[in-house]
Amino acid sequence: MAGSQARPDAYVYDAVRTPFGKFGGALAETRPDDLAAAVVRATLDRSPQLPAEAVDEVVLGLANGAGEDNRNVARMAVLLAGMPTSVPGSTVNRLCGSGLDALFAGSRALETGDAHVVLTGGVESMSRAPWVLPKPSRAYPAGDVTAVSTTLGWRLVNPRMPKEWTVSLGGANEQLQQKFGISRTRQDEFAVRSHERAAAAWAEGFYDDLVVPVGDVTKDEGIRPGTTVERLAGLQPAFDPAGTITAGNASPLSDGASAVLLGTAEAAAVIGHDPIARVAGRGAFALDPQDFGFAPVEAAHRALARAGVGWDAVGAVELNEAFAVQSLACVDAWGVDPEIVNTRGGAIALGHPLGASGGRVVGTLAARMRAERVRWGVAAICIGVGQGLAVVLENNDAQEAGVR
């Protein structure tokens, strides 16, 4: 069409996160809106040439939203971080995929010309998730009312939902284990590798530029470098007495926040430095709710198709480790070399603050691609109630990067 222009590309300029704290641990006294404000402020401080008013939008992911993170935590973060009140903020909720969904929204805004600089990310304080009471349909009910924890899982379930859809997250993954025959030993070995790789990455300084302190908290709290398969084998199954999933081969409840700074190619002039990666493709997929752990498989296929590359070109994968069993099922289905997956540890060791994990996997992937001289990478995440998201990044130094 006459006068038409090529669609702008969206680029990752920076990524940062807080340390991830254990449930009831070092970050439990920090409000989620303060965690979010911390990464927003840190992102601006890391690009000092970028005027805060030049940020067109702040989009954050959040899975809960029932407590101090209510009333649009992204807008709260804008205000608490000291940004001008003219900067808008919006919060998106796709449960565990919320942080990655925020990046989807931000990158689309850039590609359509609606924005030039967008700050995305996510936050979750599972420690501070409140108990809630359902509002009665009639005044003054005579019976007792039960307070429901909003920390994790489906609550206040609609009774019209089929029972097979509303099993616990762990119960659903026990079904996945039975379907694919992934042994307890394999799951425990995967978990041990997550801790070993996370500890090594911290020791090597990989996370020094990716993580900003929150008060005196400087490092992820859940890493156990001395974990062994033998120790994990002694843990009891958490969801089924005859099952394989334990507290040792599943991600823990966590607190934390993440941020990813996005912009167009032209935004480099205002941001003050070059981008580190291009958002090359996005993919979303959904299936039966109880099969959610397997949803990243097709989401990644779709993202790669939109990027125009195949798995043979991918040199780095960041898959959020909700459970070892679903991670292994996805890696097996993709047919990729397990050695390119989560080389700096994953959520089993680092933690999984639901809304923040999407930003974490993207930030880690972009940093890995530069460090490992990889051109193409995939970040993916499973989502409760039967969904998965994935994004493909291209190293901005592609001419110098090794192509696999």
Active-site positions read 96, 352, 382
What residue ranges in 111-253 does DSSP mark as E strands?
117-125, 131-132, 148-149
Question: To 10 degrees, what angle do helices 169-180 and 324-334 make?
Answer: 40
* Secondary structure letter of residue 210 according to DSSP: T
What is the CA angle 76-78-82, rounded to 5? 115
Residue with tokens 């599943």: 250
Whose CA is closest to 10, among 388, 393, 397? Answer: 393
Question: To 10 degrees, what angle do helices 184-204 and 324-334 make?
Answer: 90
Residue 95: phi, psi to the nearest 5?
Answer: 50, -130
Whose CA is closest to 354, among 153, 70, 215? Answer: 153
Instruction: Give the Cα separation of 291 and 280 in Å (integer).
Output: 27
What b/e readout covers 99-113, taking b as 16+ CB neighbours within 10 angstroms? bbbbbbbbbebbeee
Whose CA is closest to 225, among 355, 75, 85, 350? Answer: 350
Burial class (CB in 10 A: 0-12, 13-18, 19+), 310: exposed
Residue with tokens 């490992």: 372
